[in-house]
Amino acid sequence: MTIDRIGVIGGGAWGTALAQTLALAGREVVLWAREEDTVSDINTRHVNRAFLPGIALDPRLVATDRLEACAAADAILLVCPAQHVRAVAATLAPKTRPGQPLVVCAKGVEQATGKLMGEVLAETAPEMTLAVLSGPSFAADVARGLPAALTLACRDERLGRALAERLGDRQLRLYWSDDLVGVELGGALKNVLAIAAGIVDGKGMGASAAAALVTRGFAEMRRLGHALGARPETMMGLSGLGDLVLTCGSPQSRNMSLGRALGQGESLASVLGARVSVTEGVYTAAAVVRLAGEKRVEMPISAAVHAILEGRVSVDDAIAGLMSRPFKAED
């Protein structure tokens, strides 16, 4: 199976980091970006000042504002924000070939429908072969060539293993799985829980509270995963627990840093207004709470984050509400 030409759709930090890794590994890479300045920066200065500043990019990396250039590749990585996946995929699909691999790298749940990205793509690009790439990774680390390990999920084992081999390299280790739902769900939920972890940090609640938050947040992740048919070992793996630990443990995470700002008393509008990159957890929280309600899954931490983001409760009241819940057996 020949996978030498890779199209990467999304010129943000993560899309650029993946494109950089692939270029350094000797693949032919074309990166689509919506912003004209980003395309120009990558092609002429070999940098992405807006989304990945301070990192020199491989001169072989080519950027474009034409989706057709990516559609001609052997495989396509979809790395746009989760809430834009439907629109981008609908534009992309007519330009692609039946069976062409489409690797979704966006981490989120569609706010308007409560659907995972795989479900969205089944509706908008049904003739393409879906895969999912997710796991504990900061874009700047990966772009600098620091070691990382991710999970690549695909129901077609032969294609999944081929993608893992061609998209990975010595510094980016990829493990194959056929559990698309589990891999997707972990990447989406950790963003919501990372906002909660940031609030704990911003309020100065201490390491014990942080550990409790991550543990009980993981319990929510497992419960929803079970309801949606994800395998327990997937939730315990890189794309579940691994990504949760990373994202809840460092302000390098956009979601955790947003939560920290909320915990320190800043408003959501002021935090988002100062950012150029999307903070996925803000949009995923509502979808997760909706999905949990439909599946009758108890997710009090996620619900509290959603209520804070909507302005229905204060940070202090949300914390008080969680701490005053009835005592129960640990699940």
Our answer to whether residue 115 is catalytic in this structure is no
How many other C-beta atoms are found inside a 10 Å radius of the C-beta of residue 76?
Answer: 28
How many other C-beta atoms are found inside a 10 Å radius of the C-beta of residue 260?
Answer: 22
Q: Which uninterrupted H or E stretch holds 173?
A: strand 172-177
Residue 159 · residue 131 · CB < 8 Å? yes
DSSP codes joined into one string, 104-154: E----B-TTT--BHHHHHHHH-TTSEEEEEE-S--HHHHHTT--EEEEEEE
CA distances to 179, 205, 211, 230 from 321, rounded to whole Å, are 35, 15, 18, 30
308 Cβ contact list (under 8 Å, min separation 6) = 199, 262, 314, 315, 318
Closest to 300 in 3D by CA, of 270, 322, 326, 278: 322
Tokens for 326, please give them.
Answer: 């009835």
| Catalytic hit among 107, 115, 190, 203 | 190
CA distances to 92, 180, 218, 288 from 296, rounded to whole Å, are 35, 22, 17, 12
Rg (CA), the chain: 19
Would you state the torsion angle of the CA atoms of residues 120, 123, 127, 131, taken in this order, to the nearest 10 degrees? Answer: 20
Q: Are strands 148-154 and 129-134 parallel, antiparallel or unpaired?
A: antiparallel
For the chain, the farthest-separated pair of C-alpha atoms sits apart, in whole angstroms, at 60
Burial category of 224 from C-beta neighbours within 10 Å (exposed 0-12, middle 13-18, buried 19 and up)? buried
Q: Is 73 helix (H, G, I), strand (E, B) or coil?
A: coil
Chain-centroid distance of CA 318 in Å reads 26
**Residues acting as catalytic residues:** 190
